[in-house]
Chain A
Amino acid sequence: MATTVHEQPKLKPSREPGKWQPDLGGGGRIPVPADGPMRSLKDFSEPPASTAMWVLIAAIVMSFAAFTSALVVRQGGAPDWRHLTLPPILFLNTVVILLSSVSLEITRRQIGIRMSARSVRSGKPALWLGATAFLGSLFIAGQYAAWLQLRAQGLYMSTSPNSSFFYLFTVLHALHVLGGMIGLLYVGVKLERMTLRRSTLTAMCRYWHFIGILWLYLLYILWARI
């Protein structure tokens, strides 16, 4: 019977000269000694809320990218594209939503100071959080006023592709702002109960700033294309 010669485990030089370590390829044949190096071992990872928020933002970006490409395709070669004048209140709404981002940042700073236990009574984060929610409501009310203005001009969802896309973009964005306000409510409840996590607050702030930036993008699209 022929003798089978087995290969010895391959070794590769480590970064330190003169010291050899086994090649720990994933799923490879070379076992990791129980007391051996624990690759990528670290005691901290991103909080899931942070990762999840990036994932959510990625999904929303993809959705609005799809809507934008729909607008571009629909506009190209269509004989029924009629530009409409944007209601001026949209620009006021833009200021409102940007201000809400500022007030949320102030909220975050004040909560941060409380969490660091420098001063439990410092600032009024609940007040600033409320201000943010108020500005969010004001933004939605402003959008509603814009819809009423278009309606007064006889421009409905089905009137033209421009009005269709206008309502589509603004309504969907307003729904995202509403979702953000539910998030603000959640943060407020957690804040009252003293159970708010820093990761939750960070994720919430990230979302709120994102819908502000999303609005700037949509406003540009509406202004340039519709």
Chain B
Amino acid sequence: MHDVHAPAAHHGPPTTFISKHVFSLDHKVIGKQYYAMALVAAFIGMFLSWAMRIHLAWTNAAIPGLQILSPNGAPGGVMTPEYYLQILTMHGTMMVFFVLTTAPFAAFGNYFLPIQVGAEDMPFPHFNMMSFWVTFVAFLTLCAAFFVPQGPPLSGWTAYAPLSAIGPVAGPGEGTGQILWAASIGLFCIGQLLGSLNFISTTLDLRAKGMSLMRLPLSAWAWFITSCIGLTAFAVLLPGCILLILDHVAGTSFFIPGGLVLNDQLQSAHSGGSTLLWQHLFWFFGHPEVYIAIVPAMGIVSHVLITNMRRPMLSHRALLYSMIAIGFLSYVVYGHHMFVSGMNPFSALVFSFPTLVITIPATIITLIWLGSLYGSQLRINSASLFALGFVSMFISGGISGFFLAQPSLDILLHATYFVVGHFHLVMGVAAMFGIYAGTYFWFPKMFGRMMNETWGKVHFWMSFVGAYCIFMPFHYLGIAANVRRYSAFVDDYLQPLIPVHKFITIAALFTGFAQMIFLFNFLHSLWFGEKASDNPWEGTSLEWSTKTPVPWNNFDTIPVVYHDPYQYGVESSTGDYVMQASPEQVKTLHDEA
């Protein structure tokens, strides 16, 4: 509901190219900017994963172009073990922060949250613009690490201390590269905090008349929950990054213990620091980060599925409350990342229990999806296929989580490819499928044109089959004790597993090729796609009430909301649905029976 004293948009229509497309205050442009950045980051991340996969399968193979990126790290195109870890670090950082956080949350959330709640814009457009540009500077700062003399850091996306804190003696990239990494992530935290501030106040204060909280679409709820998680998680990672930078540049010893010997050199300048402190600060953010990636995808997928099933979920409220429960529980499970860190075994038990408990709301959500899909006449299109793919990946990746939640099993599996398979499926691929579902679904509203459905389906099937071919064998490799983070498998017991790695690499190249198809479809449809109508999917929420392309202030007149978000299966003048903003009085088809 509007505060009569505070209009939603504090800015008029943009008048110059710069104010319209570059330093725009419009949440829709900012959403597109986030999406474009995520797209670039996703392809950088994917090329890095290709380089890693080729190296793992054919260790001595020269990768064309790699020697240009780093003559020292990849002489003649063959990467050194250190450079493998540097690429691994950049792949993880790029994907987790600049793709999985920005695309489903910041990109789609920026574009659609104000529209779905019935607002003209976010309440603080300048902060919103700053949010993107600070994040963009963070992205450039991270990319800059490729081009400093020693290259990017090699301490992984988790940047475990003391290696990440001690400086160049810890290896290539641990000097300037690591500082750039910490600065980038610190800036990223600031950007996302500014974004969360806008998301929360938009949802709470700028809802149109009649839009009670329970009438918000599930996607809007997901962005709201995520912004609450992000607010607290990023506010803890930021201090961690500040302390890490101080250890590098100010000579402090927050994370560096005394008596540390690295490369035969005693690190006498430091004393007393706690290596576990970094892990606590990092994982207090790190585990909620998993839900920052997956909860928006859950909301998007639910929204897409409902529209294509033409009926609401079995229980809207149970699904919603389960998402909220996941948000709360995400803070008390982080210690399960530290089972092998030397924590007190009783702490492991304390963290193991909520980890198992969090599977309950996750299972409730999954069962609601499956139960709702059962017997529905789902409209098959690229968006709904990717939504189904998300459910599939979420289940496949989630099941291995049950094993890893138990310290006794995790101790054995922690440093193996089992964990890599688990988090890639449940967090990486699942969230990517959520992003794709959202892209195919909202592309017509965002860009005014339809994406090609045939190529969309080809993209889906290649990605779906390819992703399983990559990540399912990882579990097998893990059970066979194939350690992760190794750049080559020269031990006797690992040699027989190399054919599996070759298969995975071929699958990775195949799946990556499918993403090229997506990129081509995306770019081609931007200019040559069929013109989209205002409501091509016959949706009910407010984004489908407004025109395509969406006017700068979203609505010609601010809508009044009369209905719950998913009124499908009714008899109305428009068909089997009634839009939230329609004052039409309708009855369910059930009333006819």
Contacts and interface: CB of A to CB of B under 8 A. Distances in A.
A39 B313 CA distance: 21
Nearest to B562: A34
Given A31-B563, A45-B204, A74-B277, A161 B253 contact: yes
A37 B586 CA distance: 15
B239 A9 contact: no
Contact of A69 (B123, B280, B306, B317): B280
B4 A43 contact: yes
Interface in A120-170: 157-158, 161, 164, 168
Interface string A60-94: 10110111011001100111110000000000000
A187 to B, nearest CB: 16
Contacts of B213: 40
Nearest to B561: A38
15 contacts: A6-B593, A25-B317, A27-B313, A41-B210, A44-B1, A45-B1, A47-B6, A48-B202, A55-B201, A66-B240, A70-B254, A78-B274, A161-B254, A199-B3, A199-B6
The 3 closest A-B pairs by CB, nearest first: A27-B316, A158-B251, A48-B123
Interface string B238-253: 1110110010001111
A12 interface: no
A4 B251 CA distance: 76
B1 A42 contact: yes
B566 interface: yes
A160 to B, nearest CB: 9
Contact of A74 (B273, B284, B563, B588): B273
A59 B570 contact: no
A26 interface: yes
B236 A62 contact: yes
A168 B200 CA distance: 30
Contacts of A5: 593
B591 A9 contact: yes
Contacts of B238: 63
Interface string B560-580: 001111110110000000100
Contacts of A4: 593
B2 interface: yes
A31 B577 CA distance: 10
B197 A44 contact: no
Contacts of A158: 250-253
B587 interface: yes
Interface residues of B, number: 78
A79 B6 contact: no
B209 A197 contact: no
Main secondary structure of the interface of A (DSSP, over half): loop
Contacts of A190: none
B281 interface: yes
Contact of A79 (B206, B271, B565): B271
B312 A28 contact: yes
Nearest to A167: B250
A32 interface: yes
A66 B584 CA distance: 52
A46 B3 contact: yes
B214 to A, nearest CB: 4
A52 interface: yes
B593 A31 contact: no
Nearest to A7: B590
Interface in B255-301: 258, 271-274, 276-277, 280-281, 284
A42 B563 CA distance: 16
Nearest to B1: A45
B316 A8 contact: no
A164 B569 contact: no
A49 B231 contact: no
Contact of A39 (B214, B253, B277): B214
Contacts of A31: 563-564, 567, 570, 578, 585-588
Interface of B: 1-6, 123-124, 193, 196-198, 200-202, 204-207, 209-210, 212-215, 218, 231-232, 234-236, 238-240, 242-243, 246, 250-254, 258, 271-274, 276-277, 280-281, 284, 306, 311-313, 316-317, 320, 562-567, 569-570, 578, 582-588, 590-591, 593
Contacts of A77: 274
A79 to B, nearest CB: 6
Contacts of A95: none
Nearest to B123: A48
Contacts of B258: 79-80
B590 A6 contact: yes
Given A26-B214, A70-B281, A44 B4 contact: yes
A70 to B, nearest CB: 6
B313 A66 contact: no
A51 B204 contact: yes
A157 B204 contact: no
Contacts of B317: 25-27
Contacts of B212: 39-41
Interface core residue of B124, B201, B251, B316 (most chain A CB under 10 Å): B201
A56 interface: yes
A178 interface: no
Nearest to B203: A51
Contacts of A35: 585
B254 A51 contact: no
B590 A32 contact: no
A30 B585 CA distance: 11
A32 B564 contact: yes
B210 A164 contact: no
A59 B197 CA distance: 9
A157 B197 contact: no
Contacts of A60: 235
A9 B218 CA distance: 23
Contact of B3 (A34, A47, A74, A78): A47
A17 interface: no
Contacts of A73: 274, 276-277, 280
Given A27-B316, A39-B214, A73-B276, 10 more contacts: A28-B312, A34-B584, A34-B585, A40-B213, A41-B210, A45-B3, A59-B231, A62-B236, A77-B274, A158-B250
A26 B252 contact: no
Nearest to B570: A31
A74 B254 contact: yes
Nearest to B193: A59
Contacts of B252: 157-158, 161, 164
B197 A55 contact: yes
A66 B239 contact: yes
A58 interface: yes
Nearest to B202: A48
A109 interface: no
Contacts of B313: 27
Interface core residue of A29, A38, A172 (most chain B CB under 10 Å): A29
A225 interface: no
B192 to A, nearest CB: 10
